[in-house]
Structure 1
Amino acid sequence: MCQHVLYYQADELEKQVKSKKLAEKERKRMVQEIGLSDTESEARALLKWKASLKNQTLNSWILNPNNKTSHRGWIGIDCNDQARVTGVSLVRFNLNGTLDQFDFPSLPCLATLDLSFNHLDGTIPATIGTLSNLTDLALLRNGFSTPIPNSLDAPKHFNPQSFNMWSEFKYSSSNWIYEEPVFIGSLREPSHRLSGSLPSSISGLPLVTLFTDDNNFSGAIPADFGQSNQLEDINFSSNSFYGALPSRVCDNNKLMYFDASYYSFMGLLPESLRNCTSLIWLSLNKNYLDGNISEDLGNYPDLSGLYISENQFFGFIPQNIGKTMPNLTFLSVGNNHITGPIPSTLMSLQYLNASYNHITGNIPSSMPNMMRLSLSNNLITGSTSASVGNMSELAIFNLSENNLTGTMPSLPPTLNYFMISNNHIMGNIPNSIGYLSNVYILDVYGNGLSGIIPPSSGNCSLLEVLDLSNNNLLENIPWSLGNLENLLTFRLNDNKLSGEIPSSLKNCSNLEIIDFGENQLSGDIPPWIGESLS
């Protein structure tokens, strides 16, 4: 049997308990009068709600009069050994309607209710508060309106056994549980986003998981947030919070995932976060945070992803970062004020974004697992040949706006984007460029490249952007470039090309931008150029 013990202190809440008990007694009396078992009444309660929906795909929800437990086989329904309904999970079932006919008191054993990603609207009935065994409630991405029912006022009012089960506290997009019922604005907007501030009482909940991402929450995070000593996963991203990061966010040293990106947080990293050795993922992109990263980044032995781009951090990336963070795979520190060289200890790194800083030195040759390398708009010097040659899985290489020298490196066939514009690269474009069957962007604008455009370039059939402008390229435009049917942007301006524009380029029917100016081309401008670009 399921227990229904609720503890309330206020007189009003005591009245609610009495009302709930009377409702349960009335339900049992009616069940007894019509001769139904508890399992049958639960099944009929679900069918009553199904019948109220405007659109649903619950075809398996059919009552078998010869089998009182037939609902155990219904899609989305979980039952215990006594065939009592313990779970209703109908995520992305295209349900359209309300919860008005959802008879919560008829499902006293319900522990899990997940109706996320549907088209439900209206209010959340106050009778949901009769579900004293409820441990997991998710109504994300619907259109429910506020206010939140008082019957879900606070998990602290439930018995201690149930209380611990409210540890996963999801607050995303269309959700419900507050310690204090607060009007948080309409959820009937097209985006169905919540607004307002987080209640201070949230700090006292024994949360393990808290998601507020992709809403319109504002204000400061409560200063003592994190004191519950249970938090493992926090996502505050994409809201309008401001002020300092909560100082006690990792007091427990259990926090593994923390995302506070895309806000207006400011100030230094709190000490508890700097010393949080349990972290696996830390994302603080696009804030106003500052501090010396060579001093503020602690020892994170399990950290896999570190994202602090678009802030005001300064200093240099610690040279021993590969030892203090041996599992680091993703590092994003772009758009800050970081100086010094890229450390040579980042052996495990697969993604590095340090663009728009003041990075100096050479590209390390000790990053064999690198897949996405973005170091544009820095002061990096030296050749690319030694480093790129060791990156056999490289997909993105962006070192535009630096001081690179030497020749174009031999590029791996895995490459999707190659951008080295505005450097000092000399020599010829290698014939091996024709092996880049997966490349979408090839941008070598503003270097000192000479020689011919390799005819093998026409083998790069996926190319969408080809920019060879502002170099010293000679002779004719290869006929084979007409094979680049996906080309959108084609720039050859400011070179020393000669001959006529090949008619094969008419096959590049998707062209939006074409610039062949400042060359030594002859002949007429083909009429197809005007037709294509019109």
Structure 2
Amino acid sequence: MLSGNVPSILGNLKNLRILDLMDNMFSGVIPPSIFNLSLLTALDIGFNLFHGNIPSDIGISLPNLEFFSIASNQFTGSIPVSISNASNLELLQLSLNNLTGEVPTLEKLHRLNFFTLFSNHLGSGQANDLNFLSSLTNSTTLEYLSIKRNNFGGELPKQISNLSTMLGVISLAENNIFGSIPAGIEKLVSLRVFDVSTNKISVRQEGKEESLNRALSGMS
């Protein structure tokens, strides 16, 4: 139940590898000095009362990050393009904030295993909102993906069926996504949860309804 602001003198701990402030009542902004601790491999500030923006150069200033969570805070602004430069990331948890704008390409995050954006205000309801999903085909060990409860629009990318075969959960619910579910979804052999509810998605797929229905039956 720690509260108050995080002291900027933590930024003097140049050899710090792990900083875990999760599940307290810290408030204010994260001191800029924290984002200069270039040896950090894990930064978890989730479930607090922090606000402000994610630094635009985070993927450059913290190149060794493997675990980054700001879940359940009050962060605003956009997701920095530089996040893809933190190519060691295995967990990226940005859910339950007030983030806006487009999601940048994540093509360099080859090691990503767990990725959540749910419950933000991301996307603009436009056709290119889901381009970033195509870049996740490089994340060959991805197991969990949730982008539900945002403002994502556009057509469901066919590249969904080319995501990691280790994926157990894909949640795209409560957006404005349209199009059809790719018949190739049956290639995601580890999938246990595929949630596209409260969108505008059809299961019709020119001549492929039967194989698609078999695939969806096997996931239930």
TM-score, normalized by the shorter chain, greater than 0.5? yes
Gaps of 5+ in 2: none
- Aligned pair count reads 201
Distance of aligned partners of 1:507 and 1:437 in 2 relative to their CA distance in 1, 3 Å threshold: farther
**Aligned pairs (5 A) from 1:398-417:** 398-411=93-106, 412-417=109-114
Structure number with bigger Rg: 1
**Displaced runs of 4+ in structure 1, greater than 4 A?**
505-508
- Does residue 357 (structure 1) correspond to residue 48 (structure 2)? The answer is yes
2:199 to 490, 495, 502: 495
**Aligned pairs (5 A) from 1:120-519:** 312-323=1-12, 325-345=13-33, 346-364=37-55, 365=58, 366-411=61-106, 412-426=109-123, 427-430=128-131, 431-460=134-163, 461-500=165-204, 502-505=209-212, 508=215
Residue type of the alignment partner of 2:182:
P
Q: 1:506, 1:420 → 2: CA distance?
A: 28
TM-score (norm 1): 0.36
What are the superposed Cα offsets for residues 438-468 of structure 1, whole Å, 9 maximum, x if unpaired? 1101100001111111111212211100001
TM-score (norm 2): 0.84
**Which structure's relative contact order is higher, taking Cα pairs within 8 Å and 6+ residues apart?**
2
RMSD: 1.9
Residue type of the alignment partner of 1:349:
L
What are the superposed Cα offsets for residues 281-329 of structure 1, whole Å, 9 maximum, x if unpaired? xxxxxxxxxxxxxxxxxxxxxxxxxxxxxxx111122223221x11111
Conservation of the 8 A alpha-carbon contact between 1:337 and 1:357:
yes
Q: 1:504, 1:378 → 2: CA distance?
A: 42
Q: 1:420, 1:459 → 2: CA distance?
A: 20
Conservation of the 8 A alpha-carbon contact between 1:485 and 1:507:
no
Q: 1:505, 1:333 → 2: CA distance?
A: 44
Distance of aligned partners of 1:507 and 1:418 in 2 relative to their CA distance in 1, 3 Å threshold: farther
Conservation of the 8 A alpha-carbon contact between 2:146 and 2:171:
yes
What are the superposed Cα offsets for residues 12-42 of structure 1, whole Å, 9 maximum, x if unpaired? xxxxxxxxxxxxxxxxxxxxxxxxxxxxxxx
Q: 2:9, 2:85 → 1: CA distance?
A: 21
Conservation of the 8 A alpha-carbon contact between 2:54 and 2:80:
no
SS of match in other structure, 2:2: strand
Gaps of 5+ in 1: 1-311, 509-527
Residue type of the alignment partner of 1:396:
L
Residue type of the alignment partner of 1:428:
D
